[in-house]
Structure 1
């Protein structure tokens, strides 16, 4: 037996190195020497592009860092089950000076975004002052950690008033084939900024990996992608009675009953159910959630999560409004009404109008999880460190699982929301 680890090659060379296993029984040591002698350009051109062996492109990975784009474009890049990466957190970063995307580009449109950022700043200051008085630092907790805990709580509330066009940043780790495929979708996205971002990424990737990004597509392929982009980029449900939470469950209960029951009853905390469990049951859940919190549940990609269109149809999530001090509410309420009226008057598509709407608005959500993923999300997102609005959904996931499969032991935190000092400890510090 021999084990070798190689992580010093460029992505295309690494792809070729792995691909040679499929056509040769020689050791990777010999293949590596061959690559260094011959180069990899011709091989990639012939087998990856010329003959359509896309699995070769699956073996080469790269990381793309995307900066100064709106939260909406961040969500578009992340809207694939194959996304891996990180995004700037609204819980720990002040977004008031990040800049913003303004596709209309008039004094009126600028005033709308500036108005939301002013409310965001005012709300954060008022909430932080209120929390500092109401919640003194507990014994045994470092003051710096407690300050970060209170700041995180204040940002949890104030982020509801951030416009979705505010700029953020994210990373995207992907293999070469998936990058090419997802960029095809992003290049057809309804948002102009997203299309421009896709074009810039593709330009840079072609410079760095010219062979892997030289594919050509038939006109009918491109036409089909364009049709899908127009029809299904956003989940457009606008139902007066869209549920706060409901679900349907499909299950092969006979197969589940044949499994050893200890699989469900003896599972310790932090351990997932085996994959086979997921093949026997699935849940489709529909619920209303603010767009800011939707961003968190969208991170769970081992399932299907539709991208909702951000609109005023369902109004503000009451949690943000109810957590405002009375004096602050009296100040911002008429301004919110005026900002809504102003955004409604913009002559722009509904997709682009999202840039001028706040993250605290409710959106219709639809997720489809197998049983294994359902349990995982319910447990992870029930923690008191999770945003209160998403915890509400996680508790409903817990209830749905228990209703359908009462014998499953779940490790969910069902206690009431409290200020958890762990919020202040979930940080990356400069050493």
Structure 2
């Protein structure tokens, strides 16, 4: 007699766990949603559900009743290839996102190509843009070679290390330096796995962007979700159906309907994604408010990392974060200015952030307020792309601009540009790219100012506010300061730790950060 049969009626002590594979994302989301509305098991639900029934259910509960949590259950994988680094940064700016992008450390981007915006009749700006991007790629190639040569002269290969591993490690270190010269126009590729709710907001956000490439990316992402998906085993399945049909045509037709059917990953959940007017109109209103409030105010100097202590009310933090997002000023400077405003004016700024909010719109990310630690970070775009991956952080990124200048790869844990004999060339190239971008922005192209951004090299500084709890600050400080990391974010992580040490010394002792100022083994990965 089994132990289960000895239990009282209605008692069951045998938990059943099984993986589910092969169901269409929306059908699977429907089946999981039925747990709240039906006593059927997953196997029973999937056996009775068709794609048509799933669509009918989702049209009712998702769109009419606003049960958006259902879309959290449908996960979809995408390959996004040959998009610019600029578009990739915008694409991945989601707090619920999983994916991987081409690495500037392990891949040579000389062969990746680059994005050319529409310049319309402005042939002069088009010519200048092409010359600038070509010049940056040439400098990238020359810098890689020069730094790699300098590293080989400085770092001896240990006897126990294979030549292949030695070369690969030093090449990665050289790419770490050379990547500062890659323009935002550089093509990259990435893969992402997101749930349908994130996908819907992602598509809507992309469609709302002022840059044509990014709006087109939103349309293509929506089309990929609602249209036929690429099936990894389609060729093998077609070959099998052909073999079956040779033996039994009727069975072959049946097999074809099952094995080679067209699959659409999210034909219902994303089809209505449109530009987000709340985002578009609020951004404009806040930019205007920031321009008026900060008229004639110079951007205050700021360190690489500024841990802004909490002295203000929640209302001031919200208003300051909204204006920070719409400006180029340091958070501390914005916060201090907002703190002097009358209460009514502070509330007006908050109202601007919510006035255009629709029925199903989530409040802007700037309203994620109250985190204990706020790090205002000013760093090169290349390093920011690495820091951007931290999803447990509320990130408020400002727009790309050349007003903050650019970073120069430091020596120490990488062969310096001066050591490689190319420091002057590097400075001339980056400053030339910024000057060219300024001229392009003044051109007559339809999106002249946006086209200019593509010419910024990754050395260009960008400002972003990172709000987090202590556990995440501890995690980032430890992970990103490790010797194997890129020296740009290693410095930022170390400065984050030092800032915590100054303000919260009793907590800092629990952080195992690696001292950025101490020499490291360049061959350690």
Do the structures match in fold with TM over 0.5?
yes
C-alpha change, 1:175 and 1:216, in structure 2 (3 Å) is closer
- Are the counterparts in 1 of residues 398 and 464 from structure 2 also a CA contact under 8 Å? yes
Moved more, 21-30 or 178-187: 21-30
State the Cα deviation string for residues 167-211 of structure 1 (Å, max 9, x = none). 101112111122011211110112211111111111121222322
Q: Could you list the runs of 5+ residues in structure 1 that have no partner in the other structure?
A: 252-278, 424-431
Q: Distance in 2 between matches of 1:213 and 1:389?
A: 38
1:300 equivalent to 2:357? Answer no
Pick aligned residue for 1:323 from 417, 438, 442:
417
Output the CA distance in 2 between the equivalents of 1:314 and 1:216.
35
Which sections of structure 2, spanning at least 5 residues, go unmatched?
1-14, 120-125, 228-263, 312-368
1:290 aligns with 2:380: yes
Q: Does 1:244 align with 2:312?
A: no
C-alpha distance in structure 2 between counterparts of 1:51 and 1:280, whole Å: 31
| Distance in structure 2 (CA, Å) of the matches to 1:327 and 1:411 | 36
CA displacement, residues 2-27 of structure 1 (integer Å, 9 cap, x when unaligned): 22321321101110110110011232
SS in 1 for 2:179: helix
Matched, 1:345 2:439: yes
More deviation, 350-359/25-34: 25-34
TM-score scaled by length of structure 2 = 0.69
- Aligned match of 1:356 in 455, 458, 461? 455
Native 8 Å contact 1:250 1:281 kept in 2:
no
Q: What residue number does 2:42 align with? A: 28
Give, in angstroms, the shift of residue 304 of structure 1: 1.3
Once the two structures are TM-superposed, the CA of residue 112 in structure 1 deviates from its matched residue by: 0.8
Cα RMSD (Å): 2.7
Tell me the alpha carbon deviations over residues 345-364 of structure 1, each in whole angstroms, 9 at most, x when there is no partner. Answer: 11254443220011012222
Q: Within 2, Cα distance between the matches of 1:281 and 1:228?
A: 23
From 192, 195, 200, the equivalent of 1:175 is 195
Aligned residue pair count:
392
Aligned to 1:374: 473
1:400 to 469, 493, 499: 499
Q: Residue 312 of structure 1: which of 367, 387, 402 is its match?
A: 402
Equivalent position SS for 1:197: helix
State the 1:146 CA deviation: 1.3
The Cα shift of 1:308 comes to: 3.3
**1:412-423 matches, cutoff 5 A:** 412-414=513-515, 416-423=518-525
SS of corresponding position for 2:379: strand
Alpha carbons of structure 1 residues 335 and 247: separation in structure 2 relative to 1, 3 Å = closer
Helix, strand or coil: the match of 2:175? helix
Question: Which one has more relative contact order, counting CA pairs under 8 Å at least 6 apart?
Answer: 1
Give me the TM-score of the superposition, normalised by structure 1.
Answer: 0.83
Partner Cα distance (2:423, 2:150) in 1: 13
Distance 1:18 1:232, change over 3 A: farther
Contact kept, 8 Å, 1:123 with 1:324, in 2: the verdict is no
Separation (CA, whole Å) in 1 of partners of 2:166 and 2:286:
44
Please name the residue that 2:148 is paired with.
128
- The structure with the largest alpha-carbon Rg is 2
